[in-house]
Chain A
Amino acid sequence: MHTRPAAGSLLGIETLELKEVVHILDSAKRLQRQPKPMLRDKRVALLFYEASTRTRVSFEYAAKMLGATTTVINATASSIEKGESLIDTGYTIMALGAQAIVIRHPSSGAPHVLARYVDVPVINAGDGMHEHPSQALLDAYTILSHKKKLKGLKIALIGDIFHSRVARSDVLLLSKAGASVSLCGPPELVPDVATTLASNVSVTRDLREALEDADVIIALRIQKERLEGLQLKLDDYIARYQISADRVRWASKDVIVMHPGPIIRGLELTADVADAERTVILEQVQNGVAVRMAILARALGVNS
């Protein structure tokens, strides 16, 4: 056991310095233009304890575009199902020669536990309700392809903040970069304690207040799988917080609308918003590959 994760690990945005963020985004830009086989002969394990399409495929493509070999380990089709512990699985993957581990896990902090025991970099691909750092980085990347800088932007995050690891990572990154963040939703999904996460974060129950003059709207999915018996009246939610074309008009005229996916049309946003020109959801998905190339290159100590 050791107290520091291996160099190149990415456990969360909280511990990532702003200059590191800038470095990753610059590197992503170069790699998006021209991917290089810089990770040839490197082995990357993708350890997935939870269902995922875009994040897993995105990391897999990213690794392959840089020439690395990838192995996907799914919790349901491996020794994990037989009761092997997280740490033992980590040891095994390391013994098999993996040089980096990308992990998705339903328990908050699972990557931190793993990183205390393995000697290879650990990349957090989403842990419980905690963080999803690669998503926050690709969100920042996407915003920066439409806006000059993050500093001074007004960003509205709407919906299920409490259960969302994307929300936590986005808030931490955007606040770190000097944007102001307005969180909006019902108290069950947006508790007041959320303002303690970072500076320049406010909570409002009034969607109009959150959207007014917003440069960026990030809608979040209602995570039915994490509600734990919480009774949420979806009709009320839609009436008060759904992002519709009319409501988008409250925002700045250059607003972009984002969503980490998967989107539920007709719930957190309407179909016409999902398909609108100012909506950049698919761009986010595309940028994900570039940002994850940069994260993997950094993890394996290769300069892009």
Chain B
Amino acid sequence: MSSHSSLLIRGGRVIDPATNIDDVVDVLLSDGRVAAVDPDSKLAAKADETFNAKGLIVAPGLIDLHVHLREPGQAYKETIATGTQAAAAGGFTSVCAMPNTNPVNDSADITTWMQAPQRGAVVNVFPIAAATIGSKGEKLSDYRALQKAGAVAVTDDGKPILEDRIMLESLKSAAKVGLPVIQHAEDTRLTTGASMNYGPTSFRLGLRGMTVQAEAGIVARDIALAKKTKAHLHVAHISTAAALDAVARARKAGVNVTCEVTPHHFTLVDENVGDYDTHYKMNPPLRNAVDRDAMLAGLEDGTLDCIATDHAPHARHEKEVEFDKAAFGIMGLETALALAITVLHVERGMKLSRIVELLSTNPAKIIGLHRRGTLAKGAHADITVFDPKAKWKYEVKKSKSKSRNTPFDACDFYGRVVATIVGGKFVYQGS
């Protein structure tokens, strides 16, 4: 890793939907900012160093709204240092850290602690704080103090806010300070003991299932409350056609609602659980092909705003157990861009500019990150350089993460990260 005061990224195809650029141009980074985006080769004279991006895509750095970095409290799964190294390897320059840590991040102190230089983060970390104290769904946390400490949204991820009154209060308070409320939409009263999607596969395996209704019901309720309060509701890892339809209808009616989908929910289906493979156990669960196809359609037609990984590292001993006892969740940072390129671009013909929009432009807008998710002059020098044509095999044993829980080990992908630059400095360079 080397440090530069100025760096010229030369000859790459620059895709920046925010400024409507899709062209072969040079990008000059200077003092941690984008200094110029120009086809003029005269820029070369101004740079201390040059990076040859010929044949590569140069995009605003990828932003992941949904990451579990596990610190404080669960460093055996992941640390902020290892999690952000995995992020860098996956092309992410900014990650949002979920608050279901131990203790729960419901205070300005923990929010500050997570962003301290001592944590050793190699990419930007933006904490998302707990919406209620201890994520217990009872008493709101102090949104203004959390925002001041750097929180970019509030959520009780993993422990959805069920009570109407609390959700209403949360939306009202968040709207006052201008933070989005992110909801993991699951009516946990309907999912007791459930470990996968409800359907023929869960019946065959004798596993209790989570119904579509358990997700769609909460989304519908939240939309009604968001409408009332004019707050910004962001639906985390949406997984069902019914919930996505509700979002599309609400948006048409002018409700301020956005949503994200994970790479696994637009790639895999519940049948992939096979004979109790816990690497396919996550929450929300993998759904059936109809729901999966609805996610693909939503990515294509614009109903889905962004892709977020829900990177959820777990130790081996938490996954190598009986299916119903296994922890929910899989890693995602190192495979997200490759899955998007392989499944959406190569297999389905999605434009690369839409992929950049889904992974950078839109996530920045959703949480209001100023001067990120764009290569406009003056923006932070966060850049992802990738080769959409490069074929490679993901090998989890080489992962930068502390954990190994992925269903994508040994998968062949298109789309490889070549370099990740944060604040003008290389934080990852691929081979």
Contacts and interface: CB of A to CB of B under 8 A. Distances in A.
Contact of B324 (A128, A168, A194): A128
Interface stretch (B49-57, B314-322, B360-368): B314-322
Contact of B192 (A87, A194, A228): A228
B203 A108 contact: no
Interface string A75-115: 00000000001110000000000000000010111101100
Contacts of A197: 200, 203-204
A193 B325 contact: no
B322 A165 contact: no
Contacts, number: 67
Given A109-B276, A228-B193, A129 B322 contact: no
A86 B322 contact: yes
Nearest to A114: B322
Given A112-B276, A228-B192, A191 B322 contact: no
Nearest to A165: B206
Given A113-B276, A113-B322, A196-B200, A108 B192 contact: no
Interface string B195-226: 00011100111111000000000000000000
A113 B323 contact: yes
B200 A130 contact: no
Contacts of B200: 193, 196-197
A127 interface: yes
Interface string A125-164: 0011111000000000000000000000000000000100
B321 A128 contact: no
Contacts of A86: 321-322
Which one of B193, B200, B276, B325 has the highest number of Cβ atoms from chain A below 10 Å of its Cβ? Answer: B276
A108 B193 contact: no
B409 to A, nearest CB: 12
B397 to A, nearest CB: 14
Nearest to A163: B206
Nearest to A192: B203
Contact of A108 (B198, B276, B317, B321): B276
A85 B317 CA distance: 9
A266 B323 CA distance: 36
Contacts of A165: 206
Interface size class of B (residues with CB under 8 A): 20 to 34
A14 B203 CA distance: 13
A14 B204 contact: yes
Which one of B192, B193, B205, B322 has the highest number of Cβ atoms from chain A below 10 Å of its Cβ? Answer: B322
Tell me whether chain B's interface is mostly helix, strand or loop, or mixed.
Answer: loop
A117 B199 CA distance: 29
A229 B192 contact: yes
Given A107-B325, A228-B193, A229-B192, A131 B320 contact: no
Contact of A107 (B199, B204, B317, B324): B324
Given A85-B321, A105-B322, A113-B276, A130 B203 contact: no
A193 B211 CA distance: 13
A109 B275 contact: yes
Interface size class of A (residues with CB under 8 A): 20 to 34
Which one of A112, A131, A165, A191 has the highest number of Cβ atoms from chain B below 10 Å of its Cβ? Answer: A112
B277 to A, nearest CB: 9
A7 B325 CA distance: 27
Which one of B198, B205, B325 has the highest number of Cβ atoms from chain A below 10 Å of its Cβ? Answer: B205
Nearest to B317: A85
A108 B320 contact: no
B404 to A, nearest CB: 12
Nearest to B203: A193
B322 A130 contact: no
Contacts of A109: 205-207, 275-276, 322-324
Contact of A129 (B192, B207, B275, B325): B207
Nearest to B274: A112
Which one of B275, B320, B325 has the highest number of Cβ atoms from chain A below 10 Å of its Cβ? Answer: B275
Interface in B295-346: 317, 320-325
A254 B278 CA distance: 47
Contacts of B203: 162, 191, 193-194, 196-197
Nearest to A194: B203
Which one of B192, B193, B203, B323 has the highest number of Cβ atoms from chain A below 10 Å of its Cβ? Answer: B203
B46 to A, nearest CB: 55
Closest 10 CB pairs of A and B: A130-B206, A109-B276, A129-B206, A107-B322, A108-B206, A196-B200, A109-B323, A110-B322, A193-B203, A107-B324
20 contacts: A85-B320, A107-B324, A108-B207, A108-B323, A109-B205, A109-B207, A110-B322, A112-B275, A112-B276, A113-B276, A113-B320, A113-B323, A117-B320, A128-B207, A130-B207, A162-B203, A168-B206, A194-B203, A197-B203, A228-B192
Interface of B: 192-193, 198-200, 203-208, 275-276, 317, 320-325
